[in-house]
Amino acid sequence: MNLFHDPKNKKTGYLAIFIAFLVALNIITLGYFLYQNRKDAIRPFVNPYPLVDPSRSFIGQEHYFSTIEPLRKELKEITAKYEKDGNRVGLYFEFLNTGANVSINQEARFWPASLSKMPTALAVMKKVERKEWKLTNELVLMYEDRNDAFGTLYKKPAGTRLTIEELLKELILNSDDTAHRILIRNLEGEDFEKMLEALGMEEMYDKEYNITAKEYSRVFRTLYSSSFLNREYSSMLLEWLSGTKFNEFLGSGVPVGVPFAHKIGEHDPTVTYLDSGIAYASNRPYLITVMVQIKDGGGREKAKEAMKEISSAVYKYVANTNH
């Protein structure tokens, strides 16, 4: 016999179902409340200090320090030591949490060598962001593109097709000169002009195409702030830059395991060596660019020595200071 045929039993059944529903709803509500109020819960951000830099709400006070004067003094002493031997040094350091910086010989200009590949990478990625190009699009290696100075793409036969992503990775990870030539050949002058204008870097290069450490540092600052490319493409370039194998210069002063997204350059005819990038010390990222032109004797080894000493001093101060 079906109990629900009896009107009284039918009402009792509906009541039991309703009560069970309410109990289940209360359990779900309680569970959700407890989940939302767990210690590791991510809650909507409400800034209690709207007139202060919003990033201060995410970075602990201990990761800010009031002065970099001791570091400025130390870097000036290191620079003076190498200049005393007749070498030229240009240096720019910036603590990205506050913008505090040190600039030494900020007017000194150097041949950029492979540092010129980064503006090319930015111009290419901007075309991808605007959907004018795709990372999967292929470009053709032509005979005149081949250059054996850096990289191995020059070994490939003319007519080889490479995706834009492959070319960018070769450009950044291996500083491949052939990849650079292919990309430049497919860009237009206005692509570079628009990029330099957007970054406020129209004066980055002088008539001899030389650059300064301070001015060039804008390239990495704009990647960090994602002010030219969106976050997806800025992050993509920085990730590739952190994977480069060229760590004999500034990279030698950054501990293993600390990401260092950077680009090096070297030009043997003028005995010029350069390195620029962002070191991601825990909650204390900083930007550093060093350019060195070595007087006769020492060459690359002397540049490596100078870069390591400068980089080590910077990392030690930033990572360990409690001021």
Judgement on whether residues 187 and 177 belong to the same structural domain of the protein:
yes
154-182 pLDDT, tens digit each? 999 999 999 999 999 999 999 999 999 99
The residue among 184, 204, 224 that closes a domain is 204
Phi and psi dihedrals of 95, rounded to 5?
-85, 110
137-150 pLDDT, tens digit each? 999 999 999 999 99
The more confident residue out of 124 and 16 is 124
Judgement on whether residues 186 and 310 belong to the same structural domain of the protein:
no
The more confident residue out of 51 and 73 is 73
Judgement on whether residues 99 and 224 belong to the same structural domain of the protein:
yes
- Quote the domain boundaries for residue 280: 68-112+209-323
The mean pLDDT of 292-314, rounded to a whole number, is 94
CA-derived radius of gyration, the chain: 28
Judgement on whether residues 81 and 220 belong to the same structural domain of the protein:
yes
Residue 83 lies in a domain: yes
Judgement on whether residues 226 and 95 belong to the same structural domain of the protein:
yes
Looking up residue 216, the CATH number of its domain turns out to be: 3.40.710.10
The more confident residue out of 4 and 272 is 272
Residue 50 lies in a domain: no
Confidence band for 39, pLDDT divided at 50, 70 and 90:
low
The mean pLDDT of 39-47, rounded to a whole number, is 60
Confidence (pLDDT) at 193: 85
User: How many structural domains are present in the chain?
Assistant: 2
Confidence (pLDDT) at 140: 98
Give the predicted TM-score (pTM) of the model.
Answer: 0.82
Lowest mean pLDDT among 37-51, 116-130, 238-252, 273-287: 37-51
